[in-house]
Amino acid sequence: MHPNETGSVVGIVSPQPLRVRIGWEDIRKRFSLYVGGVMVVFVLLGALFAPFFTPYSPIQQNYSAVLQGVSMAHWLGTDNLGRDTFTRLLFGARTSMEVTIGSALLGVVVGVPIGLLSGFYQGWFDDLILMRIIDALQAFPFLILALVLAAMLGPGIRNAAIAIGIGYIPIFVRTVRGQVLKEKNKEYIEAARMTGCRSSRLMIVHLLPNIMTPLLVQITLAIANGIVTEASLGYLGLSAQPPTASWGSMLQVAQGYISTDPLMAIAPGLAIVFAVLGFNLLGDGLQSRLNKRQV
């Protein structure tokens, strides 16, 4: 619970609505949160337990089952090397989540402490140096920065995660810093300071928990963006290397078969849309809950 929630009720009585009705807004907010949440859980389960959902191997080639259409044996058909498309989608989710969650971790581990410190202490270093570096990093279009970094670092899952994660750093620094600026002059921080609380404790024990929700919203939306970026890098051959399954590389292969086997291109794209939509809805849902709490 918010430390000053108990204090703020005094004297302010919110006007009672004349009639009680569940508006579309309420339904929409819960819809985003729950539907998004369920979609995200599906993606995570698929990624975590991929081998349990399919009898096929994602990399074993089978030349007697090349480019098959939809059937009971192969729900989404097979690719040009006879590999089951549904299986590769599941393992592609694994690649996608490995890269995006890894990059989000990098962004959080680097970005959150910087944001906390810069918002807490401010000063000329924050204003003239740090924030201008953040401005400069954010001037690069997210995808272009990831693409250029991945090109320099070399292809692979780890480097793709680093490339995307560096793009996350300025986003998280800004989110955390903005929230710290908003929170640090509130009464509960003042009170903690009065009791002789050290700055480090103020930041970690008092400030950090109170900026968690906006940070979580930002992480969720960043992951949505990261999934598209990972797919783009994969499409260009800069993420997971063959034969590892990735949604982007599946699209790249599929492009050679769009006139004869469009399903090869449609399926991975729908998987990307499903995952991105899930994270976007979840982020929206969290955001509107957050707004409600702040009002």
Question: CA–CA separation, 146 vs 65, rounded Å?
Answer: 36
Using CB under 8 A, which of the segments 56-64, 81-89, 91-99, 147-155 binds another protein? Answer: 147-155
Q: Tell me the torsion sign for CA atoms 98, 104, 108, 114.
A: positive
Site for another protein, residues 153 to 172, rule: CB under 8 A: 153-154
Q: What is the DSSP string of 33-82?
A: HHHHHHHHHHHHHHHHTGGGG-SS-SS---GGGTT--S-SSSTT-B-TTS
Among 5, 135, 187, 190, binds another protein (CB under 8 A): 135
Rounded-to-integer distance, Cα 289 and Cα 295, Å: 10
Give the amino acid at 184.
K
- Measured CA to CA, the distance from residue 279 to residue 96 in angstroms comes to 13
Query: E-assigned strands of 179-286?
Result: none
* Binder among 48, 66, 109, 273 for another protein (CB under 8 A): 273
Give SS3 for 181.
helix
Question: Least CB distance from residue 264 to another protein, whole Å?
Answer: 10
Instruction: Kindly indicate which of the ranges 93-101, 110-118, 171-179, 233-241 contains the residues binding another protein, using the contact rule CB under 8 A.
Output: 233-241
| Residue 1 or 128 with smaller CB distance to another protein | 128
Q: Which is nearer to another protein, 45 or 266 (CB)?
A: 266
Compute the least distance from the CB of residue 169 to another protein, in Å: 12
Among 59, 67, 80, 140, binds another protein (CB under 8 A): 140
**Burial of residue 196 (number of CB atoms within 10 Å: 0-12, 13-18, 19+):** exposed
Residues in contact with another protein by CB under 8 A are: 23-25, 27-28, 31-32, 128-129, 132-133, 135-145, 147-149, 151-154, 224, 228, 231-232, 235-236, 238, 251, 254-255, 258-259, 262, 265-266, 269, 272-273, 276-277, 280-281, 284
